[in-house]
Every structure is written in C-alpha cells, then in structure tokens.
Amino acid sequence: MNPLLHLSATQLAAQIRQNQVTSREVVQVHIDHARAHNPQLNAIVMDRYEAALEEADAADRLLAEVGPDNVPQFHGVPCTIKESIQVTGMPHTAGLVSRKALRMTHDASTVARIRKAGGIVIGVTNTSELCMWMETSNKLYGVTNNPYDFERIVGGSSGGEGSIIGSGASPFGLGADVGGSIRMPAFFNGVFGHKPSSNIIPNSGHHPVATRGLSRTLTTGPLCRRAEDLWPLVRLLAGPDGDDLDCVNMLAGDPADVRIADLTVWSIEDNGFLEVDPELRVAQRRAAEALAKLGATVKTASLDKLRNSFELWSATMSAGNSTPFVGLMGGDKGPVNPWTEFVKWSLGHSEHTFPAIALGIGEVLQHVLPMGQDKFVAQAAELRQEMAELLGPKGIFLYPSYTRPAPHHNEPLLRPLDWVYTAIGNVLEMPITQVPLGLSVHGLPLGVQVGAISGNDATTIAVAIALENAFGGWIPPKNLQ
C-alpha cells in the first residue's frame, strides 16, 4: 500500500501544508485505492471522485496563494460520509428503495464543518436499511463486505464507513450511532470510532430523524484509522448548530492533559448473559495490563442490570420514539404492514430486508404484548446512576464490543442479540471509544470499548491513544495490499 494510506488525517494535512505532498496527490492515492477495492467491498455507494479531484486542485491553489498558516486544519484531506447524513448532490436514502431518487441540496451541519475545515468528501457509504441492523445490507445498494475477509460482515449501521476506512481508502469519516452503529463497524473493521457524550455533536441532517425523546440516544461521531484524529474531529464537530435544539456546548478537557496513571480502570468482561469469545477476553485483559503498566489502577466489576441490556435499550427507544418504524419503512407512502411485507419477502418481491421487516413485526407485537417498558426505563436510569458512581471523574471502563470477531454474512440472524454489547452504551449516554487491539488467529480485528462518565470524551480518547501506542492500532488488511 502507498505510504500515504497509512497516515492519519492530521499527518496528511501537515504534509500538504509543508508542501511535502499536494492535496491532489493525497486525494488521488485514496481514490485509486477505492477504485481498486471498492468493487469487492461495496462500501462507497456513490462517489464524487472527479469533483473531489477538482476540489483538491483548488486546495493546492489556495495553499500557494495564502500560505500554510492561513489554511484550515484538514486542508486538502479526503474523507467519506455515511449515506444517511446529508451531503450536497448525494443520495440520502438510508438504504430505503423508496428514497432512491433523492439528491441533497445542502450539507448536514457536521458535513459543512468538515468541509470548512478543509476536508474533501470522496463519496458516501453504505448503511443497513434505515440504520437499524448490525449487518450493512439493503435492497437498494446490496451487501458491504469486510476488508479482512469478504465473507464476513462489516457491522451496522455505519458499516460502509468502517469498511472503506478499514481498507485504507479513507483516513476518516462520519457515522451515527443509536445502538453501536459507529463502534460495531469500527470494531469489525479494525479502526477507531467514537460515540460522543449525548448532545455534544448535532444530529441535524440525519435520516431517520431522531425525535426529541431519542436525541440523547442517537449520536453523530467520527471513525478514523489513527487515534490522533479523534479529538480534533470531535472538537471540530461539537457545538450547537441552531437546528438540533438539544445540542449543547459541553465539550471540555484535552486528551493531552489526561494522565493514565491517575485513572481507575474497571474491566467488565461480559454482561452475565451472552458469552464472549476467549480471544476477546484475552485482548481486553492485555489492554488492562497495558494501562496498568502506565500506572493506572485496574479493577474488575460486574453489574447485574447489564443482563437486561436488550430490554433496557428497547424500552429506552420505545419510550423516546414518536415515529413508528413501520412508518419510516413506508416513507412518503405511509406505514407499511410488516406481515404483508414478510409474505412479499418470502416470495422475493419485497423492497425491504428481512431484519427491517422483523423489526416492524416486533414493533407491532410490542404494542399487543406489552413488555414492562416502564420497569426497564426505570432500570436504565438506575444503571446510568450506578455506572456514574462506579467510575467517577477519574474512572473508565473496558467492555467487549461484541461476542466475537466479525461473523460471516447472515450469521447475526441466528444470534440476533449479540449487538447489545454496544447498544447498552447508548442507554448509558456516555462517551465510548472503540479501540483496535490487533488481529485474531484468523486475521480478524480484535478490540475493546473504552467508556467514561458523560463529558469525559477527552479521557476515553486519551486511553485510545495510549492503547494504540501499546498495540499498534489499525493494521492494513493483507489481502488489499
């Protein structure tokens, strides 16, 4: 792989400013890599390669005119954006066939901030249908494949982002997370992802729209191949935009000021319900040991309420959601009948994926057979309090990202609850950074989630940087080199 494909966005921007390389060269290298491998990955679902190269030429001209001190932070650096987030001129379907003709006339505020900082969007990436399943697949764009093994999943719903960044064809991208949709793809594809504290980054321009009751559960955030880009991106993206009325100014601290030796690390190895693969357990223990060598105090913990992670997440979503999922599936046509769609799917005639139909059926059954929602909403609040008291301002937790490394395509249908290891993070409303920890015996990425109390994003990112130094971070896939 070209050496430029190994660098962080921060390093690429520095080299461009110092005239060691042009933006045109950097963008061209990433586009060439995408063109070579995206046909196998199906990660970028619509590109803007020619426009991106024109923007790179303009960036080089501007640099020559105004000098290195007068260009923005990520001047001339390529990136990608999850298709469910608005990008001017690009589709905005969230994998829904009925929205396939849509083209956006303006950027989401987060995308606009990336562009203002000098980022050049080379394409938009695939997602699961309506961003609600752990495998990135839909009837409009098809299935996205893992760069480490094309027979395995990339996670969802920001799976296209995870795949293209994990392949090396994009240094960073933008995703959104309501049940692990940033962290799961980051884990399966061996890169970094950050689910920020609730309401510090606006969710404006995302489809589906997060209702006011879900604004603390859905979070927009970055994925990137190098940990040093996480904090600059979070800082760039954070803050009210005048559109997302729940977004507030609360970003504080700096990873550079965090001393690992001052931290207490709570290692939670499972949720007491779903068993975790031994390789992931060992990787998490090695991560804890690495932090201990830096002076951190390491302890183990278990929380009984984690056994109910699915119920807590489901109740939280139901309590905060004012738009039925079957209504979202129907788009402008009104709610669909999921039972009818199941019959059509069985005959090969539905525009919807099986997971989306199953979720619609589950939603209908939930209203017919109440599942004790109020009880679990209360338990979720209790768990947030318990976790906050356990951690305090100087604590972090390590937690599995999934039950095992990336499974084969369609396997999640047989084990549909394994994703609750990330979903509980949205219930907690805490910042959580996904950190790669090398490869398994089968060459698949290992990793761990690092969480902290709300507002301590700088702490989880500081730990991610420390673990990258210890374990090497992203490892380029051998079959793409």
Active site residues: 82, 157, 181
Give yes or no for a cis peptide into 208 (omega within 30° of 0).
Answer: yes
* Whole-number Å distance between alpha carbons of 219 and 244: 12
Token pair in block for residue 250: 């609360």
Cα-flanking dihedrals φ and ψ of residue 122, to 5°?
A: -100, -10
The three-state DSSP-derived secondary structure of the chain is CCHHHHCCHHHHHHHHHCCCCCHHHHHHHHHHHHHHHHHHHCCEEEECHHHHHHHHHHHHHHHHHHCHHHCCCCCCCEEEEECCECCECCCCCCCCHHHCCCCECCCCHHHHHHHHCCCEEEEEECCCHHHCCCCCEECCCEECCECCECCECCCCCCHHHHHHHHHCCCCEEEEEECCCCCHHHHHHCCCEEEECCCCCCCCCCECCCCCHHHCCCCEEEEEECCHHHHHHHHHHHCCCCCCCCCCCCCCCCCHHHCCHHHCEEEECCCCCCCCCCHHHHHHHHHHHHHHHHCCCEEEECCCHHHHHHHHHHHHHHHHHCCCCHHHHHHHHHCCCCHHHHHHHHHCCCCCCCHHHHHHHHHHHHHHHCCCCHHHHHHHHHHHHHHHHHHHCCCEEEEECCCCCCCCECCHHHCCCCCCHHHHHHHHHCCCEEEEEEEECCCCCEEEEEEECCCCCHHHHHHHHHHHHHHHCCCCCCHHHC
* Whole-number Å distance between alpha carbons of 413 and 354: 9
Cα end-to-end distance, the chain, whole Å: 5
Angle at 313 between CA 308 and CA 318, to 5 degrees: 125
* Whole-number Å distance between alpha carbons of 332 and 415: 33
Cα-flanking dihedrals φ and ψ of residue 174, to 5°?
A: -120, 130
Yes or no: say if 104 and 92 are a contact pair by the CB < 8 Å rule: yes
Closest-CA residue to 326 (of 313, 317, 337): 337
